[in-house]
Chains A and B, each alone.
Chain A
């Protein structure tokens, strides 16, 4: 029972701190571009403002449009609850493995894309069409990267994967390097960052995620925005904990947990910096270049899997 409590506390912490992560990346990006930038806690203010506003809904919208924000948000929360953050000793990890995690995210995206098409404007359909194209290429690459890790430790359970990788010495596994590269590429695409999508644009030629949620307002928009920040945090957590698994506590001892929390925060901040730098030094891709980018991610992950089978299985 205490395990369950811990899991709920962990999930809540991640949910509450997700806007800070998004704000941190945004702030860093502004500094790198010689702008003053809003403080990292600005997203909280935005969310608060949205929560106070009334909702405006288009007359052509159906219940899908109203329900989608709740589904998207709760599915993302559920996905977060299965990811080990500071410790691998959590009972909730058995609830769903990496395949189910990808499934949760896909379910959220399914409703997000439907919501985009619900109102019947050109923008919504455009965003949905682009989103499903990109995700239908990104999702298999993500699964392949996960499978490579899973085959390495012969488990698809995230806790087991992270715990097992964390216990290992610093041996060079070619498969893990390929998988890590694939994972990073996919994570950038899935969270809608540059070079695939730009979270801060509303230009009709380029926007993807923003086009789908263009009709949202008030608390619905709050949920959509928060869910996308949560998704950024979720993928950041996956990257830092899967690629650099050291520091995640293997027990439930308070000292270990505190230390692990510190380490994870550090890793997340570092990853945020890398994201900000990469977003500053490169431009957004043309939409039809994205398949090549995602194809690369897919091939890298496949190579990881192949090299695991060819080189590492004895």
Chain B
């Protein structure tokens, strides 16, 4: 039954992709209908995933589709259920948000139709990746997801910059896909067949297992956006329409994390601590570099995209810890770290989608990408501002919201480091914890900047005056996500109980001690070690606020508030240009960590009539150090080999023929 609902979700998503073919003459109706179908698909996926997660059962079905000797098989277990729930929820919210957002594309040629086709394919691709139970259908669904999202990135193709972003994205997706083929190839080569069931049963020699791990690490890491493979992410995510950005950043990255967890924990098995160390290193680097690069961005959506790199890093830290503890036979702590990582997947999907949807609303209303031209929006868009604030607090890992809980759990796992009794490992884990602490603090700094510059202060351009809260659907989706951020922060015990099913499936044991002390207390190891009473904290905050408010506002006293111009030091009226800007706000941090970026800063002196200009460019060192040389090398190689391209079809066919012959010879 549960699996049938999940299949219905896939079919609904595919249907929403077909609608434009029928209704291409009525763009308005088409876009409505496509979004309704997409929303229904999301809802169905949400229900199916939730059921699979809560009932902790696993269902399998073989469809009469696919190759003659390899039918497509689907499976829905708690792990797939969790991610299906996440993807479904965000899809549903994006579908609720979309209809009003795409109105501006209505007058474009083929605008909403193209969008609907590829959104439908993208979502169904993600669903299928989660449900696939054999390598063949997994890769097929994976590529469907990649290609469909390429077209969504390039949707606004009139801008040259978008074309470049999409091209880089496609390139990286192809490279990632190749590595995944190799990874699955190694597994399939040693087990006789492509189905996950047989792959689980085979054990590889350590060398081959490590090789498969490295391939999967790179392949899934490319899609997840870990440092140094992240370069496509801040380019591609911001240029898609905002509800698509929300899905790409909030959900598609999670699908990559799902793939990685499925591959390493479920299919490969035999986890060694070296893998965990690799994840810990890469995760720490992603977390800290992601947040530091984000701090330097002025483009709102690009900033959010860099924060995805950071959050994926936090998830990888959790996974790395769990692998290290699993390999050293501390199953309880391994489960704790894995739950922390999974919890952060859920949280990141919620608050990052919320922030992208909020950014989209700001974008739609002000027509500005650049934070330096925003300001004072809290008065024009109150609902969006409140929801965005909730997102900012959550992503900054502040209590009592959800981001705090998952980071708290990660810290608790890291603090069990001394159990390892190994000098090197024991020393690595504190470093990871230190980086996590630094990341959290810098993220808070970054979101003070974002909210302060975008929503507070005085408006920095005239478009702000016309801004207002977006349509009801767009507001509703943001409100639902904001409430979810709070709810998952206040009731962590129920979430952990649900996630227990996943770890029980993957590691063989859960984290029962965490929820032993009732719904009020989260006690990951034991009540003496650490406890966090999230509901009590929330109500304590509310209560103390009310008491303070009541004490300071005796009923009969004169509580009048005088509204006056702000203090201008007696020099005359203040204007918006006197405020701190996003660049000046981040300047002290830029100076402290200046060795990390390639900063180009110059002042062009103004002439008569032209004001002086201050130019600041903060470049990604990784791009220059790693990708530019590779690009140059590829171009040079391409030039060398171009002489074999005669442009003649017969020549190309003969190339294919001889390659085929060669391969046959190799196999025989």
Contact = CB atoms under 8 A, between A and B. Distances in A.
A306 B521 CA distance: 31
A305 B411 contact: no
A59 B564 contact: yes
Interface in B520-554: 521, 527-533, 536-537, 540-541, 544-545, 548-549, 552
A-B CB proximity, top 5 nearest: A125-B580, A117-B452, A120-B457, A58-B566, A140-B437
A57 B564 CA distance: 6
B418 A64 contact: no
Contacts of B417: 151, 309
Nearest to B527: A94
Contacts of A214: 567
B325 to A, nearest CB: 15
A308 B417 CA distance: 11
Contact of B579 (A95, A120, A150, A302): A120
22 contacts: A56-B561, A59-B565, A74-B541, A74-B545, A94-B521, A100-B404, A100-B537, A114-B456, A121-B579, A122-B578, A124-B580, A125-B584, A129-B580, A129-B588, A130-B588, A135-B445, A143-B411, A143-B433, A157-B529, A160-B529, A223-B548, A309-B426
B287 interface: no
Interface in B209-235: none
Contact of A54 (B541, B544, B548, B561): B561
Contacts of B566: 58-61, 119-121, 215
Contact of B430 (A138, A147, A287): A147
A137 B396 CA distance: 15
Given A110-B448, A118-B456, A305-B434, 8 more contacts: A60-B458, A96-B537, A104-B399, A110-B444, A114-B456, A144-B437, A156-B412, A160-B528
Q: Which of B452, B458, B532 has the most A CB atoms < 10 Å from its CB?
A: B452
B530 A157 contact: yes
Contact of A309 (B430, B441, B564): B430
Interface in B564-592: 564-568, 574, 576, 578-580, 584-589, 591-592
Interface string A129-163: 11011011111100110010011001111001000
Interface stretch (B187-195, B362-370, B372-380): B372-380
A133 B521 contact: no
Interface string A58-90: 111111100000110111011001000000000
A151 B418 contact: yes
B43 to A, nearest CB: 34
Nearest to A121: B566
Contacts of A110: 393, 396, 398, 444, 447-448
B451 interface: yes
Contacts of B438: 136-137, 140
A310 interface: yes
Contact of A132 (B415, B445, B568): B445
B447 to A, nearest CB: 8
Interface in B617-664: none
Contacts of A224: none
Contacts of B562: 54-57
A60 B562 CA distance: 13
Interface string A225-236: 000000000000
B453 interface: yes
B579 A154 contact: no
B528 A136 contact: no
B344 interface: no
Contacts of B588: 129-130, 133, 287-288
A210 interface: no
B547 to A, nearest CB: 8
Given A95-B536, A129-B580, A143-B437, A308 B418 contact: yes
Interface of B: 375-376, 378-379, 393, 396-399, 404, 408, 411-412, 415, 417-418, 421, 423, 426-427, 430-431, 433-434, 437-438, 440-442, 444-445, 447-449, 451-453, 456-458, 521, 527-533, 536-537, 540-541, 544-545, 548-549, 552, 558, 560-568, 574, 576, 578-580, 584-589, 591-592
Nearest to B408: A99
Contacts of B563: 56-59
Contact of A60 (B376, B437, B532): B376
B433 A147 contact: yes
Contact of B408 (A100, A116, A120, A157): A100
A291 interface: yes
Instruction: Give the interface size class of chain A.
Output: 35 or more
B511 to A, nearest CB: 17
Contacts of B537: 78, 95-96, 100
Nearest to B578: A122
Nearest to B430: A305
Contact of B379 (A62, A288, A291): A62
A18 interface: no
Contacts of B441: 106, 135-140
A125 B457 contact: yes
Interface in A278-301: 287-288, 291, 298
Contacts of B540: 78, 81, 95
Given A110-B448, A155-B529, A288-B591, A60 B457 contact: yes
A196 interface: no
Contacts of A150: 415
A288 to B, nearest CB: 6
Q: Which of A54, A75, A103 has the most B CB atoms < 10 Å from its CB?
A: A103
A64 B378 contact: yes
Q: Which of A135, A143, A222 has the most B CB atoms < 10 Å from its CB?
A: A143
A157 to B, nearest CB: 6
A132 B427 contact: no
Contacts of B433: 143-144, 147
B457 A117 contact: yes
Nearest to A51: B552
B531 A114 contact: no
A122 B157 CA distance: 40
A97 B531 contact: yes
A100 B532 contact: yes
B520 to A, nearest CB: 9
Contacts of A63: 378
A97 B580 contact: no
Q: Which of A54, A63, A133, A215 has the most B CB atoms < 10 Å from its CB?
A: A133
Contacts of A291: 592
Given A64-B378, A126-B580, A71 B434 contact: no
A125 B592 CA distance: 18
A71 B529 contact: no
A68 to B, nearest CB: 11
Contacts of B442: 136
Given A62-B379, A155-B530, A103 B397 contact: yes
Contacts of B586: 129
Contact of A121 (B393, B448, B574): B574
Contacts of A77: 544, 548
A276 B213 CA distance: 58
Nearest to A107: B398
Nearest to B438: A140
Given A78-B540, A97-B532, A99-B408, A107 B580 contact: no
A156 B426 contact: no
A308 B580 CA distance: 43
Contacts of B375: 120
A219 interface: yes
Contact of B453 (A59, A117, A287, A310): A117
A113 B568 contact: no
A35 B521 CA distance: 52
Contacts of B449: 132
A42 B399 CA distance: 34
Contacts of A124: 580
Q: Which of A97, A106, A309 has the most B CB atoms < 10 Å from its CB?
A: A309
B532 A96 contact: yes
A222 B440 CA distance: 30
Given A56-B564, A120-B375, A310-B427, A100 B578 contact: no
